Amino acid sequence: MRIRPYSSLVRPFSRTFSIMSSAAAASNSSPNDFTQPLNKTAHAFDKNDFDAILSRRFFFIPSFEIYGGVAGLYDYGPPGSALQANILDVWRKHYIIEEDMLELDTTIMTLSDVLKTSGHVDKFADWMVKDSKTGEIFRADHLVEAVIEARLKGDKEARGVTEQPAEEEGDKKKKKKKVKHVAIKLEDSVVEEYESLLAQIDNYTGPELGELMKKHKIVNPETGNDMTEPVEFNLMFESNIGPTGQVKGYLRPETAQGHFVNFARLLEFNNGRVPFASAQIGKSFRNEIAPRQGLLRVREFTMAEIEHYVDPTDKRHARFNEVKSVKLALLPKDVQQEGKTDLTSMTVGDAVGQKIIDNETLGYFLARTQLFLEKIGIDPTRLRCRQHMANEMAHYAADCWDFEIQSSFGWIECVGCADRSAYDLTVHSKKTKQPLRVQQSLPEPRVVDKLECVFEAKAFGLQFRKDAGMLKEHLSTMEKEQLQVVKDDLEKNGSAKVQGPDGKTYEVTSDLLSINPITVTEHIREFIPNVIEPSFGIGRILYSLLEHSFWAREQDKARGVLSLPSVVAPIKCLIVCLSQDPQLRVLIHDISRKLRRIGVSSRVDDSSASIGKKYARNDELGTPFGCTVDFASLKNGTITLRERDSTAQLIGPIDTVISVVDQLVKGTIDWQGATEQLDTYSGVQDVD
Assigned CATH topology for domain 80-117+236-423+532-539 = BirA Bifunctional Protein; domain 2 (3.30.930)
- Residues 283-309: tens digit of each pLDDT: 999 988 888 788 998 999 999 999 999
Nearest C-alpha neighbor of 218 from the set 228, 233, 204, 206: 228
pLDDT value of residue 438: 94
**What DSSP string describes 437-457?**
-EEEEEEEEEEEEEEEEEE-H
Question: Could you tell me the pLDDT band of residue 166, with boundaries at 50, 70 and 90?
Answer: very low
pLDDT on residue 35: 47
* C-alpha span between 684 and 595 (Å, rounded): 25
Is 665 or 2 the better-scoring residue by pLDDT?
Answer: 665
The DSSP letter of residue 35 is S
**Residue 37 confidence (pLDDT) above 90:** no
Confidence bin at 196 (pLDDT 50/70/90): confident
Is residue 178 very low, low, confident or very high in pLDDT (cuts 50, 70, 90)?
A: low
Answer whether residue 383 shows pLDDT above 80.
Answer: yes
pLDDT tens-digit map of 13-30 = 222 323 333 333 333 443
Q: Vertex 33, ends 29 and 37: CA angle to 5°?
A: 90
Q: Are 524 and 444 spatial neighbours (Cβ–Cβ below 8 Å)? A: no
Candidates 254, 408, 297; CA nearest to 72 is: 297
Q: Which residue has the higher pLDDT, 156 or 539?
A: 539
Q: Which of 147, 211, 215 is nearest to 184 (CA)?
A: 147
Distance CA 540, CA 553 (A): 26
Q: Which of 88, 87, 63 is nearest to 76 (CA)?
A: 63
Strand partners for 137: 130
Structural fold of domain 445-527? 3.30.720
The overall average pLDDT reported for the chain is 88
pLDDT of amino acid 529 = 95
To the nearest 10°, report the CA torsion of 358, 361, 363, 365: -140
Query: 392: buried, middle or exposed (CB in 10 Å: 19+, 13-18, 0-12)?
Result: middle
- Give pLDDT, residue 349: 97
pLDDT at 458 over 80: yes
C-alpha to C-alpha distance for 70 and 298, rounded to whole angstroms: 10
Chain Cα centroid distance, residue 10: 38
Please give the CATH architecture assigned to the domain spanning 6-42+560-687: 3-Layer(aba) Sandwich (3.40)
pLDDT confidence of residue 686: 58
- Cα 357 to Cα 324: distance, rounded to the nearest angstrom: 12
Q: What's the rounded mean pLDDT across residues 407-429? A: 93
Q: What tens digit of pLDDT does each residue of 130-164 get?
A: 999 998 889 898 899 989 999 998 888 888 876 55
The average pLDDT across 189-218 equals: 89
C-beta neighbour count of 596 within 10 angstroms: 12
Whether the pLDDT of residue 396 is over 80: the answer is: no
Q: Above 90 in pLDDT, residue 604?
A: yes
Q: What pLDDT sits at residue 36?
A: 53
Helix pair angle (468-476, 457-464), 10° resolution: 120
pLDDT in tens, 51-85: 999 999 999 999 999 999 999 999 999 999 999 99
Domain boundaries, given as residue ranges, for the chain: 6-42+560-687, 80-117+236-423+532-539, 125-234, 445-527
Q: Residues 617, 651: contact at Cβ < 8 Å?
A: no
Q: Does pLDDT of 664 surpass 60?
A: yes
31 pLDDT more than 50? no
Q: What is the pLDDT of residues 72-129, one digit of tens each?
A: 999 999 999 999 999 999 999 999 999 999 999 999 999 999 999 888 887 778 888 9
Query: Is residue 5 predicted with pLDDT exceeding 50?
Result: no
CATH top-level class for 125-234?
alpha beta
Alpha helices in 227-314 (DSSP H): 256-260, 263-269
Q: Which of 332-346, 530-544, 673-687 has the lowest mean pLDDT?
A: 673-687
